[in-house]
Structure 1
């Protein structure tokens, strides 16, 4: 007698945005299909390749297969829009879990062996975003491009402040997994900040997930960068947009958490603002002019200015501590697939 799970296999969508991936997307799709065979009859994989008006017509590399669907954009709309097209198609076909990976081979399909069962094993009603991280496992020097490492050093502290996810890493990693319920919440147009259509898509997914209260999990994976990989940080084109995006996200979260509701953090923020304003006023009207005139600052003015500065500093430090403690920890996952990937890499080296 066959297992009931084999008679009604869970359908899982693997969404692959495709743009300028000639010579790359074919092997990625083939790898996903091999994983589907290894998973057996308990899961039915649906590969959704979204052709984002690729000028190389990369999607022609994909041979006909009943589990592969190619969706087309009439014009280039960006990786975010392509991903959303794939996720929407997955929801319409009642897929129970969705995984997004890139077409350039940076995201090995091997990790699907553990990621898919993990997504489908979540308790009912639990919302979570599961993403890859290339910084959760020690990597040899030079395995991650310097531009990517520099971008992480500069932007990850800002992202943690904007999201209140403690220990967050690899904010630009687009290897994403969601169960159906989490995906439906993420895609709901009326909920939370908007999802970006182009290169800020992964960042906007994190912001929206934090706004919705999704638990964030990161699974360790080995970094892979081919010769054709080009970092937007390397060209400098995305530095200012990223700084602006995360600054705005940080301000929005602080306003939502500490001004739209009353809490201890609200009091600390108010005390910081009032003390800073008083210190600024005293400097402009009293302390600064008296120093400029080389006259002695009165004891009362000096005491008031010093007290205001100290109060502002202490309140700000307490606010940082309160905000940090109010955040949520990122859960770290280490799948068995990581060991297989390590063995595979060692055999190649």
Structure 2
């Protein structure tokens, strides 16, 4: 009798094949995920090829100059695992985008509509736990500027304090995000509401008191005078009392330089959130960023042919509370969004 040679690796691969097929079958049975079933069949077929078609090992091993079959199997398993990780991250990102879109949609539905018939400057104020300063910011805004009615719109971005109530008490239109979406997400909600109300000009300013409302007229003047479509304030052309340290100031100047090189611009302050945009031009901009939105807006405006102008403004220190900006994450986030927005 010829003894049957038992290869432990073959046995392990057969068990793995059964496990993969069961996983795919179970996913399809429970949730009818056809893609998961097809992935399971493809993976199981690949694993089985190492058992019943050993020539597969010879091809892969020869290319990689690996003699031991189990090393080839481990290497390919890690490649597949990495693919699964990217697949899961993609699914998580897609789910997050869907939640964000639903959150903004629910918030937009909350917003009342203006009476219409009057050209309006919508002042969009994203605010996260700014209950101590938002009243002063809203009440300091003028009723009109250069013949345009001023409509403050506060987007309370998942605030757990009195931000929404204090803003409403001082005459602002207020909507709330049930969960925090980041400054960029709050601005997208505000922009959509402003567009639905036919805003002639959309201004953005922070809810922490750093952007003086008395600068509003100077900010919208180039748009009113048909000299620009997108006006940015610059603390470096004006007065900087923000209290930023050397590292942050150096970082802002560095990333501003990067944008100038990539987009052929000559701006001085790429992170300033005090800006004015012609309402009719806002729809041209593709905005996806939920956190570091300032560079994305500049790049999108430049790519879509908006006339940019930068004016000197004054930036004050925060009136109360702590900054919401991350430290290390700030540099990483700016790097990512600058190159993503530039390449897309």
TM-score, normalised on structure 1? Answer: 0.59
Matched, 1:155 2:255: yes
2:177 pairs, out of 41, 66, 73, with 73
Please list the CA deviations of residues 227-247 of structure 1 after superposition, one character each: whole Å capped at 9, or x if unmatched.
Answer: 6453746x2122223223334
**8 A Cα contact 1:195 1:205, kept in partner:** no
SS in 2 for 1:85: helix
Tell me the distance in 1 between the aligned counterparts of 2:192 and 2:339. 30
Structure 1: segments with no counterpart, 5+ residues: 1-7, 254-349
Contact kept, 8 Å, 1:147 with 1:231, in 2: the verdict is no
The change in CA–CA distance for 1:105 and 1:147 in structure 2 (over 3 A counts) is farther
Residue of structure 1 in register with 2:232 after alignment: 131
Asked whether 1:173 is paired with 2:272, we answer yes
Distance in 1 separating the partners of 2:251 and 2:324: 10
Is contact 1:162-1:247 (8 Å) kept?
no
Shift of residue 136, structure 1, vs aligned partner: 0.6
Alignment TM-score, normalising by the size of structure 2? 0.60
Is residue 236 of structure 1 aligned with residue 334 of structure 2? Answer: no
Encode CA deviations 1:79-121: one digit per residue, 9 max, x unaligned: 1111111111111111111101110111111111232343233
Superposition RMSD on alpha carbons, in Å?
A: 2.7
Give the structure 1 partner of residue 215 of structure 2: 111
Given the alignment of the two structures, is residue 10 of structure 1 paired with residue 103 of structure 2, yes or no? no
SS in 1 for 2:179: coil
Alignment of 1:197-216 (within 5 A): 197-198=290-291, 200-216=292-308
Residue by residue over 1:194-243, the C-alpha shift from the partner in whole angstroms, topping out at 9 and shown as x without a partner, is 43122x1111111111211212111101221226453746x212222322
Q: CA deviation at 1:138?
A: 6.0
CA distance in 2, matches of 1:116, 1:138: 19
Q: For residues 296-325 of structure 1, what are the alpha-carbon distances to aligned partners after superposition, in whole Å with 9 as ceiling and x for unaligned?
A: xxxxxxxxxxxxxxxxxxxxxxxxxxxxxx
The Cα shift of 1:249 comes to 4.9
Greater RCO (Cα-Cα under 8 Å, separation 6 or more): 1
Q: What is the count of residue pairs matched by the alignment?
A: 228
1:195 pairs with 2:288: yes
The structure whose Rg is larger is 2
Q: Unaligned stretches of 5+ in structure 2?
A: 1-116
Alignment check: 8 A CA contact 1:143 1:223 kept: no
1:23 aligns with 2:132: yes
